[in-house]
Structure 1
Amino acid sequence: MFTKIIKFKQNNFSFYVIYLYKNQPELIYNAIKKKMQHSPVFFKKISVIVNIYYIKNEINWEKVYNAIISTGINIIGVSGCNNKNTIKIINNTGIPVLFTNNKDNKKIQNIDINEKKINNNIIPKSIIKTIKEKGSLSLKKDVFYNKSKIIYNPIRSGQQIYAYNSDLIVINNVSTGAELIADGNIHIYGFMRGKALSGANGDKNCQIFCNQLFAELLSIAGEYLLQDQIPKKFLGKSSRIYLKNKTVTIKSCN
């Protein structure tokens, strides 16, 4: 009788990426610790990918690695590395080096881009249509999403739902510890107590709509708002969450 031992299956996960712009371990450590002071619960034992694309000179990976993990952050991979010697050093530390699509990398590397306006790890080639002279991304036409993904059952703690290239609609309650991720908008027609991450592919025009807002975390295109940052007047209320001047903003739907 055949007994199944392992199974390979493709899954989708959402990880935060730390982009390094400086090569000094002490500056990196201090910058992370300063960020942690604003949201200590959010950063507790968080796992990240470190992107070193913007480090032009050779990086002292061992010192940078120690600086990051000494803050309590776990590193699960390194991306944006094109130096063969650096790749070898990183691999020797047991950290995997992650590669994006080579064709997309060439497109981005040959253009003088504005670092603050482009994130080549979260913007897929499907929406990289044209690049203006100043270096910011622009679209030739609107991004079209697939048919919305609709969930009728309650989302329990520990569950993660991902709507690839589409909106996500939940016609039920979302428990604490659950996670909703969508490349498009997110609609919750019930109690929302978990995490909601809209615009996962970098679309800053996406929004989140909650019938009764008690969320642990609200995020749009990488910008986020934690539960203790949500004004009390919106708790339990029907709310719309969107980006305004790169800040996650909440507005009542009533």
Structure 2
Amino acid sequence: MFTKIIKFKQNNFLFYEIYLYNNKPELIYNAIKKKIQHSPVFFKKMPVIVNIYYIKNEINWEKVYNAINSTGINIIGINGNGCNNKNIIKIVNNTGTPILFTNNKNYKKTQNVSINKKKVNNNINSIKSKSIIKIIKEKESLSTKKDIYYKKSKIIYNPIRSGQQVYAYNSDLIIINNVSTGAELIADGNIHIYGFMRGKALSGANGNKNCQIFCNQLYAELLSIAGEYLLQNQIPKKFLGKSSRIYLKNKILKIKLCN
């Protein structure tokens, strides 16, 4: 009787993309470490793709590679669509780092827009392809403005499966279903889950400490508000499976049962 050993199958995975704007390893390392401080558990051993489109000068890829990996982030490849410098691609290729290519026809058109002239698109669906790190970087540049326009809540009716990630940009996130273990919810505003919550929920991704998380049935792997977080084993058992409200007080996450 034939027993199947392996199978090759095309699949869709979500990976974060780090955009480099500087070729100095020590500056890149410090910038990543500063970002990780806001949510260390979220970034721990995170697989990422590096985009070097904005690196116009030569780059010591071996040192940059080591600098990024030494932060605890794992590089799985370079975005080959994001660099027109053949010499840099050759250097990266010689180190054995995989060079990845997307099939997005609009990629070059999007990349040719000057970063200083980019504007945040009012259509929430247009940010799905952006990496979280890039979005947060844009948020920091906007944080100096007094008025930030918040969009209507992003509502999702389907279950959120393991490996899926949902990000609500400048808005609340409402899930009218279950969230599986291994799924990630990220919102600049509040997060509401009206089913089982078994994944990760990161509210106040733009640093808003007034945001809250509401779970109908709390079994979360991780809860985070504005960078402060609780792991599953830190959640008191009396809240597990219960309707709960999570909020931030004096930089400490608090949980309260919802009557």
- In the superposition, the TM-score normalised over structure 1's length comes to 0.57
* Residue identity opposite 2:63 in structure 1: K
Task: For residues 111-163 of structure 1, give each alpha carbon's deviation from its aligned partner in whole angstroms, at most 9, with x where no partner exists.
Answer: 22446848988259xxxxxxxxxxxxxxxxx9xx9x94348xxxxxxx71548
Residue number among 230, 239, 242 corresponding to 1:227 in the alignment: 230
Q: Which has the higher contact order (CA 8 A, sep 6+)?
A: 2
Partner of 2:36, secondary structure, is helix
| In structure 1, distance between residues paired with 2:21 and 2:4 | 46
Q: Provide the rounded CA distance (Å) in 1 between the counterparts of 2:165 and 2:200.
A: 14
Match for 1:189 among 191, 195, 198?
Answer: 195
2:165 paired with 1:149: no
Number of residue equivalences:
201
SS, match of residue 227 in structure 1: strand
RMSD: 4.7
- Secondary structure of 1:179's counterpart equals coil
Query: Which residue number in structure 1 is paired with residue 6 of structure 2?
Result: 6
How far did 1:98 drift? 1.6
Summarize the Cα distance change of 1:3–1:162 in structure 2 as closer, same or farther, 3 Å threshold: same
Following superposition, the deviation at residue 77 of structure 1 comes to 1.1
Distance of 2:192 and 2:106 partners within structure 1: 28
The one-letter code sitting in structure 1 at the alignment partner of 2:92 is I
Aligned with 2:183 (options 160, 180, 202): 180
> Secondary structure of the equivalent of 2:158?
strand
Runs (5+) with no aligned partner, structure 1: 125-141, 152-158, 199-207, 242-251
Please give the secondary structure, in 1, of the residue aligned with 2:72.
Answer: coil
Residues 212, 11 of structure 1: CA spacing in aligned structure 2 closer, same or farther, 3 A cutoff?
same
Cα distance in 2 for residues equivalent to 1:5 and 1:196: 37
* Cα pair distance change 1:33/1:99, threshold 3 Å: same
Residue of structure 2 aligned with 1:82, choices 81, 84, 92: 84
Amino acid in the other structure paired with 1:195: K
TM-score (norm. length: structure 2): 0.56
Post-superposition shift, 1:27? 0.5
Question: Could you say if the C-alpha distance between residues 197 and 57 of structure 1 is closer, same or farther in structure 2, counting changes exceeding 3 Å?
Answer: same
Q: Which residue matches 1:98?
A: 100
Matched residue SS, 2:109? helix
State how 1:12-23 maps to structure 2 within 5 Å: 12-23=12-23
Amino acid at match of 2:101: F
Deviation at 1:239, TM superposition (A): 5.3
Q: What is the alpha-carbon distance in structure 1 between the residues aligned to residue 26 and residue 33 of structure 2? A: 11
Structure 2 partner of 1:130: none
Structure 2 runs not aligned, ≥5 long: 132-151, 167-173, 204-212, 248-256
CA distance in 2, matches of 1:34, 1:193: 28
- Pairing 1:212–2:217 present: yes
Question: Which residue does 2:61 correspond to in 1?
Answer: 61
Indicate how the Cα distance of structure 1 residues 23 and 161 shifts in structure 2: closer, same or farther if over 3 A, else same. Answer: closer
Q: Take 1:5 and 1:170, find their aligned partners in 2: how far apart are those partners?
A: 36
The alpha-carbon distance between structure 1 residues 209 and 107, as it changes in their structure 2 partners (threshold 3 A), is farther
| Alignment partners' CA distance in 2, 1:55 and 1:70 | 21
In structure 1, C-alpha distance between the alignment counterparts of 2:222 and 2:176, rounded to whole Å: 17
User: Residues 149 and 163 of structure 1 are in contact (CA less than 8 Å); yes or no, is this contact kept in structure 2?
Assistant: no
Q: Is the helix fraction higher in 1 or 2?
A: 2
Are the aligned partners of 2:39 and 2:227 in contact in 1 as well (CA < 8 Å)?
no
Indicate if the aligned counterparts of 2:200 and 2:222 stay in contact, CA closer than 8 A. yes
